[in-house]
Amino acid sequence: MMFCKCIIMGLCLTASAALAQQSNRVDLGRLSTGSSVSFVRTADGEWGIGISGGAAPGLMQRQPAQIEVFTDEENIRHLAAGYKTIEKTAVGVTAQAEIPYAEGVVFHVHDRWSADGAAISVSRKVDITGKASGGFYSSVSLTIDPSVMWSDIDFMAPGTIYGDPTYNGERAVGGVRNHEARNFQMREDVLSAPLFALSFKNGSSIAVLNPAPRGDTTTAETRLSQPVMTDARFQFGALGAWQTDDNPVEFGFRFPGTVSSSAGMRGAPAGQRWTRRYHPIAPETDHKFQVSFRFGQNESFPEVTRNAWRWAWNTLNPPVIYTDIEQMRTVLLDHLAAHAATIDGRTAIPFVLNTITDERQWNYTMVAIGFVGKNIECADQLLREGDRDSTERGQMMRQTGLAIIASLIKALEKVPLIGTGYDLATGGPWTGDHQEWVAPWLRNATEGMRVLMHAYRRERSLGREHPEWFNWVKSYADWLIQQQRPDGSFPRRWKPGSSEVEESSGTSSYCPVPLLVIMSEETGDPKYKEAAIRAAEYVWTNWGYKGLFIGGTIDNPNITDKEAGMLSLEAFLSLYESTKEPKWLQRAQVAADFTESWIWIWDVPMPLDAEDSELHWKKGVPALGFQGIATAHAGSVDQYLDWSVPTYAKLYKLTNDEHYLNVARVLLHNTKSMVALPGRQFDLKGIGFQQEGWRMGPGGSGRGVGGHRFWLPWISANHLYGITGMEEYDPALYKRLSVKPGM
């Protein structure tokens, strides 16, 4: 590669080649990918760094010690220097730089570089002589061979961008506007791991990771109360890539996490906006961080996602926060049964409950199938417990579960459906606010009916027949396959009681696949499975092959989100189990690798100065294991993926890949940290409650605070299915996962 040679030539003094090699170059080492990492003396006598050879583009940084100093908006200085001294040690290279600023003020940069396998790492400490007003950050960045254009790179940052930004939300940190502005800069606290990766057209890749994130901040900072803030307590960084004017693409890490966004305010034209965070320019400032770079080769983009993510997982090694799973099961079921509501003979789980007060919300009587309403799944969990518990408690739960299902079928008897929910107060269609929550969504109906068919099978195996369940589902499935389009896709939504399409996008065509597979098994008619295969092929051909999954959350239409990955995983796996074709297992793994990358694997600290009474995620509770929701809302989290505990366990058994079992364990335990238990009720009004979600990234009311304090049925349904579905799939493996080793 000519550029790689030019790095060395450009950095070296104009002296003989032999002298340059002997006196002006220090090799850090050769990576397992074949790349060589070297420090080379520049013409001004300082040292820069160059990375060449191997499949990755050439990289360089003539002035590795980079500082930005802020006095005011009109006085921002960018300071940089090469290393003054380089020393080879037994473990790597120690490098020192000095950057004079004001009179009597000098930044002393101490970097320790090391290489291991396919990665290089630097540990930085900045000491300050003297004192000055304003603030500073330091950064470690590398410049890419100028022959590589921004458009030649696919970017990955977990929960924010997976190559194609089209479906990420126009104003999102990983969205279209920032991509067009050639500017992706992301604070650590909007990322499930402080990870950012670049994938190149020749199959090489480079990933950046903070291997030891701290994340400390203050309440005012997380509320974005000011665009510029200086505080020694800020211990979060920022990662990303950017390109200014005609300069080469750069990428790297800043500390503290100063970022710019080109998204613009809603309704405003695009324009660069900065959120500047600095440390004080003072001798007592503790300024130190680490950053690592992993080099990959022969990787498709889905493999970049998988390999970079697993590198981050293995480096951060997320701990399992063990909980008493059997106690959790009992608490959640008792809570669920206690809050079932009956009006005029109709029974359901209310759409929303306040976790703080007894005030009934406006949509208390809204009933919904699937997604966040999950009434059929709640009923299924009550029926399961009725089979486990022969006492009056269990039998009351069974009767409640049967009543929920009967009420739903009666209210939504006609196909095409009038909706995927109804009004418990009237038994008719919901006519209140937000009718779109219970409109005839593809996801809601197919998700609920799939669960009902599993319940139907279980009940039948116990000698209990429910022909009305089967007939209702079959009537819907027969109508549904008539809605499939020639390309294999299904619309996302129809007009109530009609076959007229309300939302035509086919992005969520993975939703009906598991249901259609079951219907072929139950009826012996291949038409359902044929429709399922065509739908799954459509999803894979359009997005899945790129490691991209879209359109799971109905309130974020056509947005990249984790539930799209979760549901695609179920679709592909159901086809593998039905057909035994290896391609479906391989595709299931791609979906699984995408989906798990939304799991928070570093412990996000609550603001140092926050009052626990003001926080929804309480201090002292490890803040990891929850998951990002959608790229459009980076930094917002919930626990929805704990539904997939049995699926990741199944992948482990099908592939013998121990990593998937580790994912299942984290999802089984860590996701339940904020459920109110006896002796650990937090500030919730009752045992068994948990609010729907929280904010970990900046904005709104700040880190650790959610948008509301409501419980929705999906919370308990998903927690419980992670337990009961795992136990049903493999009782022995469930026992292994549910208890702490050694207990």
Mean pLDDT of 232-243: 98
As a whole number, the mean pLDDT across the chain is 95
Instruction: Report the run of H or E that residue 645 belongs to, with start and end.
Output: helix 645-655
Mean pLDDT of 479-492: 98
**pLDDT for 567-609, tens place per residue?**
999 999 999 999 999 999 999 999 999 999 999 999 999 999 9
723 pLDDT more than 50: yes
Q: Are 35 and 54 in contact (CB under 8 A)?
A: yes
Q: Are 531 and 481 in contact (CB under 8 A)?
A: yes
- Lowest-confidence segment of 7-21, 324-338, 533-547 by average pLDDT: 7-21
Distance CA 622, CA 637 (A): 14
- CA 443, distance to chain mean position in Å, is 21
Q: What share of the chain is helix, strand, coil (3-state, %, to 5)?
A: 35, 25, 40
- Lowest-confidence segment of 122-126, 602-606, 738-742 by average pLDDT: 738-742
Measured in degrees and rounded to the nearest 5, phi and psi for residue 173 equal -60, -30
* pTM metric for this prediction: 0.96
Residue with tokens 């399992």: 320
Torsion, Cα 654 659 665 666, to 10 degrees, reads -140
**pLDDT for 82-103, tens place per residue?**
999 999 999 999 999 999 999 9
Mean pLDDT of 705-733: 98
- Nearest to 399, CA basis, from 461, 329, 345, 335: 345
Distance CA 193, CA 313 (A): 8
Angle at 41 between CA 297 and CA 80, to 5 degrees: 85
Mean pLDDT of 397-403: 98
* Joined tokens for residue 167: 């479906």
**pLDDT for 153-192, tens place per residue?**
999 999 999 999 999 999 899 999 999 999 999 999 999 9
What confidence tier does 291 reach under pLDDT thresholds 50, 70, 90? very high
Domains of the chain by residue range: 64-86+97-316
Q: Tally the C-alpha atoms within 13 A of residue 353's C-alpha that lie toward its C-beta.
A: 23
The reported pLDDT for the residue numbered 13 is 32
The reported pLDDT for the residue numbered 271 is 72
Distance CA 743, CA 740 (A): 6
As a residue count, the chain comes to 743
Dihedral sign computed on CA atoms, order 57, 63, 66, 71: negative
* Joined tokens for residue 740: 């702490």
**Cα 585 to Cα 176, 401, 439, 563, 665, distances in angstroms:** 32, 34, 33, 19, 21
The reported pLDDT for the residue numbered 8 is 40
Q: Are 79 and 25 in contact (CB under 8 A)?
A: no
What confidence tier does 269 reach under pLDDT thresholds 50, 70, 90? low
Mean pLDDT of 131-150: 97
What confidence tier does 262 reach under pLDDT thresholds 50, 70, 90? confident
Distance CA 148, CA 335 (A): 57
Distance CA 556, CA 294 (A): 33
**Cα 508 to Cα 170, 503, 542, 544, 549, distances in angstroms:** 20, 11, 11, 12, 9
Distance CA 739, CA 66 (A): 48
Task: Please enumerate in sequence order all residues whose Cβ is within 8 A of that of 737, keeping only pairs 6 or more positions apart, or say none.
Answer: 645, 649, 661, 664, 665, 668, 726
Q: How far apart are the first and last CA of the chain?
A: 57
Q: Tally the C-alpha atoms within 13 A of residue 582's C-alpha that lie toward its C-beta.
A: 1
Q: Are 122 and 291 in contact (CB under 8 A)?
A: yes
The reported pLDDT for the residue numbered 263 is 62
SS3 state of residue 447: helix
Question: Maximum CA pair distance of the chain?
Answer: 95
> Strands, E, within 596-705: which ranges?
627-628, 636-638, 694-695
Mean pLDDT of 328-357: 98
Q: Are 628 and 598 in contact (CB under 8 A)?
A: yes
The reported pLDDT for the residue numbered 16 is 30
Angle at 394 between CA 392 and CA 398, to 5 degrees: 110
The reported pLDDT for the residue numbered 47 is 98
- 60-76 b/e (C-beta count within 10 Å ≥ 16 → b): bbbbbbbbbbbeeeeee
Got the DSSP string for 215-275? ----HHHHTT--SEEE-TT----EEEEE--TTSPPEEEEEES--EEE---STTS----EEE
Q: Are 4 and 59 in contact (CB under 8 A)?
A: no
